[in-house]
Amino acid sequence: MVSNEEVSSIIDAYPRDRRYALAVMQDMQRTFNYVPENGLIATAEHLDCSVAQLYSMATFYKALSLKPKGKHIIKVCDGTACHLRGANNLVTGVKRELGIVPGEVTADGEFSLELVNCLGSCALAPVLVIDGVYHNKVKIDAIPSILKEHATPVVTQ
Amino acid sequence: MSTAKTLSLTIDGTPCTCESGEYLYDVAKRNGILIPVLCRSDAFEDHRACCRVCIVEVEIKGRRKVVTACVYPVEQECAVYTNSEKIVEERAIVLALLAKRAPESAEIVAMARYYKAPELDRLVELDGGRCILCGRCVQACESLGTGAISTINRGTEKEVSTPYHNPSLACVGCLSCANVCPTGAIPFIQAPSTRSIWGRDFEVLSCERCGAPMGTREEIAYAAKKAGMETPVICDACRKHEIADSMMGTYRLV
Ligand code: SF4
Ligand code: FES
Ligand code: FES
């Protein structure tokens, strides 16, 4: 759970104007990995709009989520080119490694998986993006090492 | 100040006049020509124009185009056809699609039948569907200032709901949403002294004088607060009587 203080520290930085609704929610998404319910309620109060309006926006934009996403976000492109070049295989590969399907988060909260539309790198299909880093012409065998690259390093004493 | 230009047009051959910028639907209505509408409500000023049943053909300088009458501002002389062959056919398809989306809505089904909508066998009906996602309910709730509901999600998942599908704290149980819905899609229960909607149960208060139902406790308090008045305990009719009585008393004293 995100505390009300953490929520206020984000919201208070914005002027009380409804046009900042999306910006506030994006900010919360970045900071908390999701838009928490107390965050929506506090934002509605700050911007003098209804929770319903914000909820409508939050469920409309794919960039916002109402449930916590993983620390690292895996995006598998499923645009036309990537789809034809085996985006499905990448999804299978990730599932084999982490046991999650698109829309899910690993139990330890490390990774979440998303299917996205064309990322504009069709010539390099199939494309997989983790935390903004593009991996091109990905083969299913390469997935374990790619994931390892991005995972939070385990500290051993 | 600019005075709006007066234009003349014909609708299904009937000569009409209107001011430049008036919506075609309003012009037609004033002249006794009824164009079917679903998502349009006279209660609101902005129209979302999403149901498409109000389509008509407009001919300007020999060119014809299909427009939605509810939001088409008449800006030049034109000839309008509300029942041309093309419109009859297209409106029937629009209604056939709406009937697939809202097969449980008696209103939609009746309208589809009336306008001879084709069966479209290869499309499946939406299970339990009543809502056509016109957004009138959301508009009503927003314009009251309560803002208890909104459209959520997108694409095939889109629906009208309260945040998190939870009973809404903002709802005052006024039933505006259900009353403005053209398809009867919003379920509610109205008993003599209680009312339930959007997962909440409300108490309906009665006039302390005549006993007539006045609305939910929350709704009465909300309206009074908005108007900057005390929360009333007697109904409008009784209040008028009271005022009339006291006036009579005053006059008798004079
Ligand atoms: S519930 Fe009724 S008013 Fe609301 S969007 Fe659906 S059809 Fe329109
Ligand atoms: S389809 Fe994947 S980058 Fe274009
Ligand atoms: S009434 Fe015109 S589009 Fe719905």
Name the band, by pLDDT with cuts 50, 70 and 90, for residue B249. confident
In whole numbers, what is the pLDDT of chain A averaged over residues? 93
Residue A157 has a pLDDT of: 59
Q: Determine the pLDDT at residue B248.
A: 78
Percent of chain B with pLDDT strictly greater than 90: 78
Locate B156 and state its tokens.
Answer: 């095939």
Compute the distance between CA of residue B50 and CA of residue B41 in angstroms, rounded to an integer. Answer: 12
Over 70: is that where the pLDDT of B1 sits?
A: no
pLDDT for res B239: 86
**In the prediction, which pLDDT does B142 show?**
93
Predicted confidence band of residue B2 (pLDDT cuts 50, 70, 90): low
Task: Assess contact for A140 and A121: CB atoms under 8 A.
Answer: no
Query: CA-to-CA distance for B117 and B98, rounded, in angstroms?
Result: 10
Residue type, B14: T
Question: Hey, is the C-beta of B168 within 8 angstroms of any chain A C-beta?
Answer: yes
Could you give phi then psi for residue B180, rounded to 5 degrees? -90, -10
> With the C-alpha atoms ordered A71, B164, B155, A57, is the resulting torsion angle positive or negative?
negative
Mean pLDDT value across residues B176-180: 95
Q: Which residues line ligand 1 (CB under 6 A)?
A: B 131-137, 160, 180-183, 185-186
Q: How far is A40 from chain B (nearest CA, A)?
A: 10
Do residue B147 and residue A51 have CB atoms under 8 angstroms apart?
yes
| pLDDT score for B138 | 95
Distance from Cα A123 to the centre of ligand 2, integer Å: 8
Decide if pLDDT at A153 tops 80. no
Widest Cα–Cα separation across chain B:
80
pLDDT of residue B237: 87
Segment B218-245 shows an average pLDDT of 89
How confident is the model over B106-118, as pLDDT tens digits? 999 999 999 999 9
Is the confidence at residue A66, as pLDDT, over 70? yes
Q: Residue B3's pLDDT is what?
A: 66
Query: Does residue A50 sit at the B interface (CB-CB below 8 Å)?
Result: yes
Q: For the residues A115-119, what does the mean pLDDT come to?
A: 93
Coil vs helix vs strand at B47: coil
C-alpha angle B136/B214/B131, rounded to 5°? 20
Q: What is the mean pLDDT of residues A91-120?
A: 93
CATH number assigned to the domain with residue range B6-114, chosen from the 4 options 3.60.40.10, 3.10.20.740, 3.40.50.300, 3.40.1280.10: 3.10.20.740
Residue of B55, B68, B89, B94 lying closest to B102 (CA atoms):
B94
Mean per-residue pLDDT, A143-151 = 91
- Which residue among B35, B42, B52 is best mutated to probe the pocket of ligand 3, counting the most ligand atoms within 8 A of its Cβ? B52
Q: Residue B184, SS3?
A: coil
**Residue-wise pLDDT tens digits, B136-156:** 999 999 999 999 999 999 988
Q: Is the predicted pLDDT of residue B36 greater than 80, yes or no?
A: yes
Closest residue to atom 4 of ligand 1, CA basis: B137
A117 interfaces chain B, CB cutoff of 8 Å: no
- Rounded (5°) CA angle B206-B210-B215: 25
pTM, rounded to two decimals: 0.83
pLDDT band at B11 (very low <50, low <70, confident <90, very high): very high
User: For A62-66, what is the mean pLDDT?
Assistant: 90
> Do B163 and A55 make contact, defined as CB atoms within 8 angstroms?
yes
Q: Is B20 on the interface with A (CB under 8 A)?
A: no
Residue A19: band (very low, low, confident or very high) from pLDDT cuts 50, 70, 90: very high
Domain chopping of chain B, boundaries? 6-114, 136-248
Q: Do the bridges between strand B150-152 and strand B159-161 make them parallel or antiparallel, or are there none, so unpaired? A: antiparallel
Q: Which of B91, B78, B63 is nearest to B24 (CA)?
A: B78
pLDDT one-digit tens code per residue, B183-210: 999 999 999 899 999 999 999 999 998 8
B253 pLDDT tier (thresholds 50, 70, 90): low
Domains of chain A, first to last: 4-60 (no CATH), 72-150 (3.40.30.10)
Q: Other CB atoms closer than 10 Å to residue A11's CB: what's the count?
A: 18
User: In the prediction, which pLDDT does A156 show?
Assistant: 64
First to last CA, chain A: 30
- Using a CB-CB cut-off of 8 Å, the residues of chain B touching A55 are 150, 152, 163-164
B118 touching A, CB under 8 A?
no
DSSP state of B222: H
Give the model's pLDDT for residue B55: 97
